[in-house]
Every structure is written in C-alpha cells, then in structure tokens.
Structure 1
Amino acid sequence: MNKLPIGDDEEARIARDIEAVSRIDAVPSILRLICKNTGMGFAAVARVTEQSWTACAVQDDVNFGLVAGGQLDLRTTLCFESRAARASIVIDNFDNDPVYKDHHTAQIYKLGSYISVPIVLPDGSYFGNLCAIDPNPNELSNARTLSMFEVFADLIAIQLATEGRQQVAEAALLHEREVSSLREQFIAVLGHDLRNPLSAVSATAELLTLRKNEPDLVKIGQRLKTTTLRMAHLIDDVMDFARGRLGSGIGVSIEEDVDDLATALRMVVAEAREANPERMLADDIVISTRVRCDRARVQQLLSNLLGNAMTHGATEFPIAVRARVDNGELVLTVLNGGNVIAVDALNKVFEPYWRPPTSKPGGGLGLGLYICKQIVCAHGGTLDVRSSAEDGTAFVARLPIGG
C-alpha cells in the first residue's frame, strides 16, 4: 500500500486532485454516513486513472491501513474494471457471487462485500470511484444503497468541477494581477525617464520665446511651451497613477491654514483660459476663510476637472467654475454642457483608463478623473458627478476644511 512508480506529471496531477477532494467539506461526513448506513468498515474516494489507484479521502473502521495519498496496484482493484465499463460494481457476498466468486481482488484483500460507483465529472471525464469494502458480507445491492452511493458520487463530481473552475479563475486572476503590477511598474519608470528629455524641450521653448526680434520663432516657442506643459501634466498623471496603484497612494502634504486658495484656483483658471482662448470659461471663486488642504493638489484637482470639461464639453457651451466654503466643506464645482453621460457610465468615469465611447482620438490617457478621485479621497472628501440634458454635466468635489 505504498506509492507506486508513476510519471512525475501524473504524480503532480494526483497530488492536486487529493488536495481538491480535501477542500470539499462534505466528503468526511459522506464517508462516515456510508459506513454507518451500510455496515461497511472502510469507505474511500479514490482517484482512478489508466495507471494508478490513489485514495483521496478515507474512513477506515477496520484498520485496512490505507490513508489519503496511499495507493494500490490498479490491477488488483475492481475499480479498474468499473472504470473500464463506466459502471457500478456491487457485491453482497463474494463467496456467492456468480461473477466475482473467485476474483483475485477478494482473495488479495480478504473481502466479503464490495461496492464501487464511478465519479464522473460534468464534462464527462472520469475522476475515480466512491467505494466501500468490508471483510464480511453485507446487503448492498438494494436500490436504496445504490441510489445513496450514486447521489454522493454525483455530489462529489459537481463539487470537484466547481473547485476546478475556481482554481482556474484564481490562477487567471493572480496572473492578471502580476501582469498589471509589471505594467504599472513599467509606466512609473517610463514616466520618470521622460522628465529629463521633456525638461530639455521646455528649456528650448523658453529660449525661443525670448527671440523677440523673430516673431515666428516666438510663436513656435509658445506653442512648444503649451505642448510641453500638456506633456508634463500627462507624465504627472501617469506617475500619480503608478504610485496609487503600486501601494504608496497619491501623496498629499496637508497645510493647516491655507489662506490664498482662492488666488491659487484663479491661477489655474487663468492658465486654462490662456491655453484655450477659443473656449468660454467663467469662474465664481469666493473663499474667505482659511482652508486645511494641499494647495498644489487642489490646484491639480481643478486643472484635471477643467481639462476633462474642455475635452468632453461642447464648444458652444461655457464652462463654469464655482468654489465656496459651505458647512465646513470646500465645495468645488466644474460644469460644462454637451453630451450627457449615460446613467450606466456614471459609476465608471472615475476608473483608470476609462473613456466614453464618444471620446475623440488623442483625448488623453483616461487618468485625469481617477486622479481627481484619489486627491479628494486623500483629503477625506467626496467627488460626485451628475449629468442631464437640461443642466449639463457637473463634477462636485467636497473637501472638509477643518482639522
């Protein structure tokens, strides 16, 4: 009853099958119930292949000596014949059975009675057998006992199939997480390495804008500055995203008494106007109290919300920015007109890389709103969106201003 020589691949598969059976909580109870209801002294769930017979779970009340993982020579078992015929074998008394009276299995293991029912998975593959043995004769061939074994065998087969699907799903999820982590690490490194060449381009743009006696070069320099600024924002978004996804989170440096937040936010609006002179942009920013926040991050929050409005809002509608302190919260609203966000998409807009189907090519990486959400959460606040044909699309951030 020791391990028999089989191939490494089959041995690994059998080890996985033993583990799978061990995770089915009902199996020990099933085997105990079989022994109690039939009077059989030994019951087992066996993995039966073309090469081997292996016990995956046992109930041994007669000291047969086989434990989970133990193996028998396949040819010495009746499970070998049951597998070949894909049929149950039931023997009340070997001495009186017309077919198995002189069978070697009874002689080798000194058996008086025997029952074995195939365990066939839902996809039709043969797993093994639910079997029981005893040195004494027992009445097993009645319909009640055979039906009990068949029901339990089907139940084990279903549980094994469910376990297999779960294992495949978990392996796929683990692989996806590993791939995702590598991708995000790559993005972080790439974003970091892009900063140096971008700085060189920005310095070149600055030099061109100083050539006042050459207007054409000044215009080129200004366009180049605008482009490098946009690229810098994209790199910042990528870096923030990577930090957030890789576990360190988007960092904030909270100042207790920011007294110039209104000015800081107006600067963001002014930059947006300068970069988009063709768009109508109105601001109503009134903050007359000190605010507890990360000034730079709140500026980034407004910049990203404005960038989103510029990208997805209709050009014929103005963009409105409103900031107030209300009931201990900084309430920052950015409103634009244009296409309505579908109800089923409202909960997706803050997901990374998500963009609406109507997005134009080159409209960004789809990280801006995700980063907005992270900034707001880092401040202990909320960020919501509402959208309708009558009122337009509004993003509303609420940040607590107290300590």
Structure 2
Amino acid sequence: MESLELADHIRRDVEAIGRISAVPSMLRLICEQTGMGFAAVARVDGDSWTACAVLDRINFGLKPGGQLELHTTLCVESRAARQPIAFDHASTHPVFRTHHTPRIYGIESYISVPIVKGDGSYFGNLCAIDPTPHGVDNARTIAMFQGFADLIGHTLELEDRQSATEVALFDAEATAELRDQFIAVLGHDLRNPLASLSAIGELLARRAADPDSTRAGLRIRATTKRMASLIEDVMDFARGRMGNGLDVAREQIPDLGLALDDVVAEMRAAHPARTIAADIHVTDIVHGSRGRLQQVLSNLLGNAVSHGAPDSPIDVAAWTRDGWFVLSVKNQGEPISPGNLQKIFQPYWRPAESRGHGGLGLGLHICSLIVKSHGGTLQVTSTAEHGTSFVARIPVRPGVAAVA
C-alpha cells in the first residue's frame, strides 16, 4: 500500500513539473549555454531519483517518469549538503576521478543544483551531464542554474497553495485565508527569485559579441516578463478585493490607436507562428488610462492565443464613433459552452479543459475590472460558426453610462 501511495506522489510531482511551461525553455537554454547534451529536472527524496522533465541530446535514454538507482547519482550528495555540485572533467578531477557516478554513467562534465520550495522543503535537483568535458564549474553557470532552480521551487510552492485553495473552495472562510496566503506568495516570495533571473537575462542579452548569449538572454527576459505579468494580475485582484480599486490614473489619450498597435506588435513578436490581423482606427481623444487599456488588449490577445485555433487568425479591431471607444478581439476554435460564458469573468476560474494552458484564471477578470473602472462594459459571445469575440465598449469622455 505504501508503494502505491509513493508512486502516486511521484506521479503528481512529475505532472506538476510538466505544467510549468518555462521548464522546456530552461533545459534548452542550459544545453545551449553549457554545451551539455543532457539536462533534467529530477525529483529526489531519501529513497528515489525520478526524472520529471528531460532534454536528451546524447541518447542517455531517460524520459519523464524514468528512475535511476538513488545511490548511483550525485544528486543524493547534493541533497544531503543542500549545495551545488559541479565539475568540468571527471577524469582529471582530484575528487571525482575515482567517484562511482562518472564511471557508472560514462560522464566527464556534470552540474547539479538543489530545487527547494518556498517553504524550505526539498523537491529535487536541476542537473546536466555530458560524456565530454565542458566548463560548468564557474560562478556564471552555477548562478544561472540557481536562478532557474529558485524559479521552479517557488512555482511548485505556488501550485501547492493553489491546489490547497481549490480543495477548500467549499469552505468560504478557508478559501479566503488560503487566497490571502496565495497572494502573499506571489507578491513577495516570488519577486526575489524573479528579479535574480531577470538580472541574469539582462546580463546575457547585453553580450552583443555572443549571439547565442543574446538569444538566451532574450528568452529569459520573455519568461520573467510572463511571470511578472502573473504577479501583477494577482496584485491587481488583491487591490480590488480589499476595496482599494485598481490603479487607474485617467488622462486625455490623443494616440490610443498607436498604443494599441504597440501591443499587437509585441504579441506578434512573442508568437511569430500566429497570425494577428489588426484594424485599428481610433480617431478621437479617449479619456482613460493608456497602460490599463493596453493591458486589456494584451490580456484578451493572450487569451485568444492560448485558446484559439492555432491555424486560424486572431482579429483585432478598435475604433471610436458617436462618443464611444470600442475594442474587439476575435478568434476561431472550440466555442465556449453557454454555462461557462456565465463564469468566464469570475476570478480564479478556468474551464477544466483549459488547465493545461497555464495562467491563474485572473486575466479576463482583470479586464472586466479595468473596463468597468472606465465606465464601460465587456461582453463575450462564442459560437462554432462565428468564433469567440470579446468586445469592450468605453465612453471616450467620463460621466457617460455604458449601454450594452
């Protein structure tokens, strides 16, 4: 019975790592930056070593869910010391030239860094190996590994808290308490490892003489920007929940159309495989928050990219007419069921079939809050024939009540 429970626990941890969308990019970046042919996220406890995510370019033969004998790995020593282990050339290393792990697996270069959750519990290791020597025992490489490991550990802690919140949904008081803890983790604990990882990305991106480093830095920056966006969504929700409202500093915006064009351009650059068609004709001055209205379009576009049919274009339209600013985002794909349409703007809500797309279920809720703070409405329609459309209608001048 205990073995079945342990197997289920391991399976859940493997699945948890699989839900972190940034992990494949991290492993790819590790191999590109170090030259190592195999990189993995491993779950390591006192009894077992299990691969949760793998990038294998040397035919090592291990896949997610695969296991190694714990005593044959160096991760067990890293776990015991809670310290990184790295060497460039095992055959000439004063310690590891006689160690059993390089001999068993035929490796020359190796690095392993502990993954520790925000609550201090040990999850496993971020590691890489290769049968040829590579320079990994240096401060720069170890710092990159530690930044990635910190982000993985805090993301796992975040998912643990989110799962606990979902289990407690039927208890209103428990739900409120867990949600407050969830917000605290995002607003405080995640900022430090995210700032560290962002700094690594900036450093790599500025290495103009090294195109590979520049590309790697840009990928890290994109990942940290995504994480920062999730944090800001939750903090926005927290401010609204506590009665402080959203931060909407309204002003006269004479060039809102250009501001929306910038959002479309950023989304196209982030998703070059997707077609985003834009028809933006905002001719009037709009009284509102430039940044918040850009956020509405960004969130709606992100939603369309995640849930729309990948082989169909996303249509963006915006215009001003008769005292109204109208913004529309439309995509094709599986329609939203009528029952889900009634819940789609609720916080922390996502349909079961969309759980694999990541996110926290706050983007559309934040959009609705922003539109409402501008005195407008946000509506959604979804059919198999016409696709899914989100339409925001906002008065160009304050003091006008929006009409559906």
Give the TM-score band, short-chain normalised.
Answer: 0.5 to 0.7
1-structure distance, mates of 2:351, 2:177: 26
Shift in alpha-carbon separation, 1:179–1:357, aligned structure 2, 3 A: closer
SS of match in other structure, 1:395: strand
> Within the alignment, does 1:384 sit opposite 2:379 as a pair?
yes
Which of 210, 223, 244 in structure 2 is aligned with 1:248?
A: 244
Could you report, residue by residue, the CA deviation over 1:216-252 in whole angstroms, capped at 9, with x for unpaired residues? 2222111111101111111111111111222222231
Which of 201, 205, 208 in structure 1 is aligned with 2:201?
A: 205
2-structure distance, mates of 1:318, 1:202: 32
For structure 2, the residue ranges without an aligned partner over 5 or more in a row are 1-167, 399-404
1-structure distance, mates of 2:233, 2:360: 9
What residue is the counterpart of 1:195 in the other structure?
191
1-structure distance, mates of 2:225, 2:241: 24
Are 2:240 and 2:246, in contact at CA under 8 Å, matched by a contact in 1?
Answer: yes
Task: Give the 5 Å matches for 1:279-290.
Answer: 279-290=274-285
Deviation at 1:367, TM superposition (A): 0.7
What residue is the counterpart of 1:371 in the other structure?
366
**% of aligned pairs identical?**
50
Could you report, residue by residue, the CA deviation over 1:102-156 in whole angstroms, capped at 9, with x for unpaired residues? xxxxxxxxxxxxxxxxxxxxxxxxxxxxxxxxxxxxxxxxxxxxxxxxxxxxxxx
> Within the alignment, does 1:237 sit opposite 2:233 as a pair?
yes
TM, length-normalised to structure 2: 0.55
What residue is the counterpart of 1:304 in the other structure?
299
SS of match in other structure, 1:372: helix
> Within the alignment, does 1:321 sit opposite 2:313 as a pair?
no
- RMSD across aligned positions (CA): 1.9
Which has the higher Rg, Structure 1 or Structure 2? 1
What residue is the counterpart of 1:332 in the other structure?
327
Letter of the structure 2 residue corresponding to residue 300 of structure 1? Q
Are 2:306 and 2:357, in contact at CA under 8 Å, matched by a contact in 1?
Answer: no
Letter of the structure 2 residue corresponding to residue 182 of structure 1? E
What residue is the counterpart of 1:180 in the other structure?
175
1-structure distance, mates of 2:386, 2:356: 27
2-structure distance, mates of 1:188, 1:363: 17
TM, length-normalised to structure 1: 0.55
Are 1:187 and 1:242, in contact at CA under 8 Å, matched by a contact in 2?
Answer: no
Deviation at 1:360, TM superposition (A): 4.5
For structure 1, the residue ranges without an aligned partner over 5 or more in a row are 1-172
1-structure distance, mates of 2:337, 2:357: 22
Are 1:313 and 1:337, in contact at CA under 8 Å, matched by a contact in 2?
Answer: yes
1-structure distance, mates of 2:174, 2:385: 43
> Within the alignment, does 1:220 sit opposite 2:227 as a pair?
no
What residue is the counterpart of 2:337 in the other structure?
342
SS of match in other structure, 1:364: coil
> Within the alignment, does 1:361 sit opposite 2:356 as a pair?
yes
Are 2:378 and 2:392, in contact at CA under 8 Å, matched by a contact in 1?
Answer: yes
Are 1:184 and 1:246, in contact at CA under 8 Å, matched by a contact in 2?
Answer: no
2-structure distance, mates of 1:359, 1:287: 33
Are 1:185 and 1:246, in contact at CA under 8 Å, matched by a contact in 2?
Answer: no
SS of match in other structure, 1:402: coil
Letter of the structure 2 residue corresponding to residue 230 of structure 1? R
